[in-house]
């Protein structure tokens, strides 16, 4: 029985080492296979038999058996690739792919491409799975086949425009300042009802001006000027009308009172840009100065017929309507007073519904239409202090209508959604918005210039290129300049990856031994990082494989010697009978 057992033991050794050579050969054959994971055959001795049949202290083995072919899931080397869809997992995890019948498989081979339907597939046609994104680029929680869009991306109309510029504080006041000029007078103030009058600057409302008695000529003019400058404006945007107010008298006794503000400030429809003098009750000073019937001039600050000549600085910005059509809006800045600037926004008349705009806001020669206006005031340190609510002109009236939001105007573009709201953001003003007044438009003593122009609209666009980041997000770059997430690659990990079943084509299948997969995005839940333009090479160690092959070869040779030796001994045993 012992000699026969040695034969069986030798045969089992041949089988075991032959299987080991088969595993080693498979490893070497796949040393160039992307994402291949090598294997190693493991063995165990077969149950021993007892010779004495007693306590079992004398036992002999009856050979060896293959217990498992164990996979090696160590990280393979990474190599760069020119294909952006070539992806490698640096760390734990598997790609999830699905065949045409809906079967789910797992792979470390990241060789992907686009098929005729723009699906991301591996060389076997298995579709890559991932989290899908909606049309806004938001990644959803829905897992599906990763596909890149071939249709046109929807446009987005402009709602917010950011305009940061420096407006030269040394620029001259542009436009006509409202004033009133009386005829010859030789008035001298007195305590007997000849000390005050009412003044209304640029429609800010009537206020009382009071001076001392015994003044005449230049002294009276200086007192009036100082008294007006000391008044508090009802509308902060008309402050420059007071601070820049002047009063003068010529040799003939003609008094001239001039507002410090050119034209209107666009903060209130009541603004007239004029200086209006009235009697203060029974006081006779206004009459004695011959101001009640004085020659008045109404101020102007911007003319649609001459936008360049009635402004100090201008800049243009392209915006988009609801259809994705582009329109050029030009903003003209006019210095209306000390630290006060008006802005007027114009559009090409061919771009807007001119029937909604009054003729006073349209210039047929230049082909432009005024669509919005507002006022900016600055602090003495150059910071943006206040922003007025903007005036829109699609009301069919010359004066337009004042809105409720600073910088927000309403524009009617041809063929697009009506009443498109566009808010011009000039920075966070100190008083209006509680900001520092330095992160947008400023007024410093340097050349007027644009610092930054941005807006949130864009035209329709088609997919031009795409990239994959370390978190597996596939981002598409469109012809309209937009970058949008298209999908996010999902990875899976298993409690025991050694229990996975190899199914060929560089794929694995879940089994009872592997446990349930845990899915997630790269760099989360213990999953590795994704690298684009990179492939994971086979983790076969050729030197180690050669050493294992030599050991298996020697084992096979030695076991064959066991068989031949046992055969010779049995032959001698048979010869004893002879």
Average pLDDT over residues 573-577: 73
Closest to 344 (Cα-Cα) out of 416, 378, 393: 393
Q: What's the farthest any 2 CA atoms get from each other in the chain?
A: 167
Judged against a pLDDT cut of 70, whether residue 3 lies above it is answered with: no
List, in sequence order, the alpha helices (H) in 416-474: 430-433
Tell me: pLDDT of 566 over 90: no
Residue 567 has pLDDT above 80, yes or no: no
Q: Given a cut of 90, is residue 563 above it in pLDDT?
A: no
Contact 211/193 with Cβ under 8 angstroms? no
Please state which of the ranges 54-63, 174-183, 511-520, 533-542 shows the lowest mean pLDDT.
54-63
> What pLDDT was estimated at residue 6?
74
Assigned token pair, 272: 């007239």
At what angle are helices 2-29 and 542-575 packed, to 10 degrees?
160
Taking the C-alpha atoms of residue 466 and residue 485, their distance in angstroms, rounded to an integer, is: 9
Q: What is the pLDDT of residues 98-156, one digit of tens each?
A: 999 999 999 999 999 999 999 999 999 999 999 999 888 899 888 999 998 776 788 99
Report the share of the chain in percent with pLDDT over 70: 95
pLDDT at 44 over 60: yes
pLDDT digits (tens, 9 = 90+) for 301-330: 899 999 999 999 999 999 999 999 999 999
Average pLDDT, integer, range 515-531: 92
Given a cut of 90, is residue 65 above it in pLDDT? no
Residue 275 has a pLDDT of: 93
Query: Could you give the dihedral angle defined by the CA atoms of residues 292, 297, 300 and 305, in that order, rounded to the nearest 10 degrees?
Result: 140
The overall average pLDDT reported for the chain is 90
Q: What is the mean pLDDT of residues 362-378?
A: 96
* Chain segment 19-30, per-residue pLDDT in tens: 888 888 888 999
pLDDT of residue 270: 55
Report the Cα–Cα distance between both ends of the chain, in Å, rounded: 21
Quick: pLDDT tens for 436-478: 999 999 999 999 999 999 999 999 998 888 899 999 999 999 9
Tokens of 570: 């049995």
Cα–Cα distance for residue pair 122/169, rounded to 1 Å: 64
Structure confidence at residue 17 (pLDDT): 81
More confident residue, 270 or 226: 226
- Retrieve residue 232's tokens: 């508090």
Question: Looking up tokens 């069919």, which residue turns up?
Answer: 396
pLDDT for 480 equals: 87
What is the distance between the alpha carbons of residues 127 and 94, in angstroms, rounded to a whole number?
14
Q: What is d(CA 356, CA 473) in angstroms, rounded to the nearest whole number? A: 46
Which H or E run includes 547?
helix 542-575
Task: Report percent pLDDT > 90 for the chain.
Answer: 69
Torsion angle of C-alpha atoms 87, 92, 98, 103, degrees rounded to 10: 160
pTM of the model: 0.73
For the segment 371-395, the average pLDDT, to the nearest whole number, is 95
Q: Where are the alpha helices (DSSP H) in 123-273?
A: 217-229, 239-243
Question: What is residue 56's predicted lDDT score, i.e. its pLDDT?
Answer: 52
């Amino acid at each position: 029985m012992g000699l026969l057992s040695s034969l069986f033991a030798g045969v089992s050794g041949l089988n075991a080492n032959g299987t080991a050579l088969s595993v080693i050969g498979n490893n070497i054959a796949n040393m160039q296979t992307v994402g291949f994971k090598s294997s190693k055959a493991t063995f165990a001795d077969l149950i021993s038999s007892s010779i004495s049949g007693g306590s079992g202290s004398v036992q002999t083995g009856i050979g060896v058996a293959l217990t498992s072919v164990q996979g090696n899931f160590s990280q393979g080397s990474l190599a760069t690739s020119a294909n952006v869809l070539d992806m490698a997992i640096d760390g734990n995890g598997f790609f999830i792919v699905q065949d045409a019948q809906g079967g789910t498989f797992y792979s470390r081979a990241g060789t992907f491409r686009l098929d005729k339907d723009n699906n991301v597939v591996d060389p076997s046609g298995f579709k890559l799975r991932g989290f899908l994104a909606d049309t806004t680029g938001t990644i959803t929680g829905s897992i599906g086949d990763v596909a890149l869009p071939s249709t046109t991306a929807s446009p987005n109309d402009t709602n917010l425009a950011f305009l940061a510029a420096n407006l030269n504080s040394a620029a001259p006041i542009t436009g006509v300042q409202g004033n009133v000029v009386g005829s010859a007078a030789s008035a001298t103030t007195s305590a007997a009802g000849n000390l005050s009058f009412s003044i209304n600057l640029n429609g800010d409302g009537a206020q009382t001006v009071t001076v001392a008695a015994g003044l005449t000529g230049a002294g009276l003019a200086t007192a009036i000027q100082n008294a007006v400058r000391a008044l508090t404006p009802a509308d902060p945007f008309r402050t420059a009308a007071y601070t820049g107010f002047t009063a003068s008298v010529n040799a003939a006794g003609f008094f001239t009172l001039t507002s410090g503000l050119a034209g209107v400030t666009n903060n209130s429809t009541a603004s007239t840009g004029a200086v209006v003098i009235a009697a203060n009750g029974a006081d006779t000073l206004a009459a004695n100065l011959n101001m009640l019937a004085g020659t008045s001039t109404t101020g102007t600050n911007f003319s649609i017929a001459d936008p360049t000549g009635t402004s100090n600085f201008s800049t243009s910005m392209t915006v988009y309507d609801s259809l994705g059509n582009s329109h050029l809006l030009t903003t003209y800045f006019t210095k209306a007073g000390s630290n006060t600037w008006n802005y007027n926004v114009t559009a090409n008349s061919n771009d807007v519904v001119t029937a909604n705009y009054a003729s006073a806001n349209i210039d047929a020669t230049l082909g432009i239409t005024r669509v919005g206006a507002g006022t900016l005031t600055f602090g003495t340190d150059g910071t943006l202090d206040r922003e007025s609510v903007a005036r829109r002109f699609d009301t069919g009236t010359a004066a337009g209508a004042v809105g409720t939001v600073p910088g927000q105007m309403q524009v009617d573009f041809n063929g697009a959604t009506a009443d498109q709201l566009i808010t011009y953001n000039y920075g966070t003003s100190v008083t209006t918005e509680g900001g520092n007044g330095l992160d947008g438009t400023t007024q410093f003593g340097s050349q007027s210039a644009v610092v930054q122009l941005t807006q949130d609209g864009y035209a329709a666009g088609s997919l031009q290129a795409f990239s994959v980041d370390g978190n597996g997000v596939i981002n598409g770059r469109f012809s309209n300049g937009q970058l949008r997430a298209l999908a996010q690659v999902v990875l899976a990990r298993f409690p025991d990856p050694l229990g996975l079943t190899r199914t060929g084509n560089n794929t694995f299948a879940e089994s009872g031994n592997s446990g349930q997969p845990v899915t997630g995005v790269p760099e989360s839940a213990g999953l590795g990082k994704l690298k684009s333009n990179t492939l994971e090479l086979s983790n076969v160690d050729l030197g180690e494989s050669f050493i294992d092959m030599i050991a298996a070869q020697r084992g096979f040779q030695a076991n064959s010697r066991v068989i031949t030796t046992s055969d010779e001994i049995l032959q001698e045993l048979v010869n004893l009978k002879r």
